[in-house]
Amino acid sequence: MAYGLLKGKTGIISGALNEKSIAWKVALRAKEEGAKIVLTNAPIAMRMGEINKLAEICEAPIIAADATSVEDIENLYIKSMESFGGKVDFVLHSIGMSPNIRKGKAYGDLNYDWFLKSVDISALSFHKFLQTAEKLDAINEWGSVVGLSYMAAQRTFPFYTDMAEAKAMLESIARSYGYRYGKLKKVRVNTVSQSPTETSAGSGIGGFDKFFDFADKIAPLGNASADSCADYVVTLFSDLTRMVTMQNLFHDGGFVNTGISEDVMALMEK
């Protein structure tokens, strides 16, 4: 059901790879709620994914951008504003990648060049999106920027290795830039810490299937789906959350505040 929450608003959605992507779901919901959007992803991700299909459904232009390149991000904002005929109201940062995880490196055997790449892609790119938008004055007052995070920024999960540090930095940037942008333009900046989700990126992590089941048994509401995450993100883009900023918001069915569940205790008794 649509409520017209984003009627008349414009936004940039990054990171939609395929139908499993949270960013893909957010794009569909934003369109359904009345927004005009621009889709963006890195050129290599665009070749690997199905973004053209999403663009057709959402009637949205695609502007390629390497999230580590300030020049590409500048071009993204400029062309988006040209497409919209004005500034942007919301931005989704759904970008994260670790070469160490992809290549099976253990936390005690990290390649530091790859580690820096993880941080650049997954966290510094968020700062670049924000700083570039500020310099171009690309986001309307009371606009909203949301980055997708994960609880490994606060708790240790062995399989998440250097991405944990990247997500911790992402959340810190949201606080620091949230203060700055709030004072300057009333733009709010938040991160959403989502449940383990069966996306292409998530399911590519070793042991993901076991942890997905564990989290589902811990959380009293179960794991939050990608669709429900999209619903939540859309509310953060809307005017209903104008006073919410500098927050890391857990969207995980209650996992973060549950020590142990009856379901997990029952498993231990077997």
Phi and psi of 182, rounded to 5°? Answer: -65, -45
Q: Is the residue at 238 inside a domain?
A: yes
Whole domain around residue 31: which residue ranges?
10-269
Spatial neighbors of 213 by CB under 8 A, at least 6 apart, are none
Q: Among 106-115, 122-131, 256-265, where is mean pLDDT lowest?
A: 256-265
Q: Is the residue at 225 inside a domain?
A: yes
d(CA 161, CA 158): 6
Best CA proximity match to 67, nearest among 103, 112, 22, 15: 15
Written as one string, the DSSP assignment of 112-127 is HHHHHHHHIIIIIHHH
Question: Cβ of 17: how many Cβ atoms within 10 Å?
Answer: 22
Best CA proximity match to 23, nearest among 54, 60, 44: 54
pLDDT (0 to 100) of residue 204: 54
d(CA 234, CA 232): 5
Total-model pTM:
0.94
178, pLDDT greater than 90: yes
Q: What is the per-residue pLDDT across 193-247, written as a single tens digit (0 to 9) for each?
A: 999 887 666 555 656 678 889 899 999 999 999 999 999 999 999 999 999 999 9
Locate tokens 């980055």: which residue?
147
Question: Cβ of 184: how many Cβ atoms within 10 Å?
Answer: 11
Mean pLDDT of 159-178: 96
- Domains held by the chain: number: 1
Percent of the chain residues past pLDDT 70, beyond the cut: 96
Selected residue with higher pLDDT from 71 and 45: 71
Best CA proximity match to 136, nearest among 187, 66, 192: 187
Q: Residue 122 is encoded by which pair of tokens?
A: 């997954």
Q: Is the residue at 155 inside a domain?
A: yes
- The CATH number of the domain where 190 resides is what? 3.40.50.720
Q: Are strands 36-40 and 139-149 parallel, antiparallel or unpaired?
A: unpaired
Q: Is the residue at 1 inside a domain?
A: no
Q: Among 43-47, 78-82, 89-93, 257-261, where is mean pLDDT lowest?
A: 43-47
Q: Is the residue at 172 inside a domain?
A: yes
Q: Is the residue at 2 inside a domain?
A: no
What are all long-range contacts of 235-238, with beta carbons under 8 Å and residues at least 24 apart?
235/5, 236/144, 236/146, 236/190, 236/192, 237/5, 237/6, 237/9, 237/11, 237/30, 237/35, 237/89, 237/90, 237/144, 237/146, 238/5, 238/6, 238/33, 238/144
Q: Is the residue at 77 inside a domain?
A: yes
pLDDT (0 to 100) of residue 159: 86
Strand spans (E) along 63-174: 88-93, 139-149
Q: Is the residue at 58 inside a domain?
A: yes
Contact 161, 98 (CB under 8 A): yes
Best CA proximity match to 246, nearest among 161, 172, 160, 143: 172
Best CA proximity match to 174, nearest among 95, 68, 93: 93
**Average pLDDT, rounded, for the chain:** 93
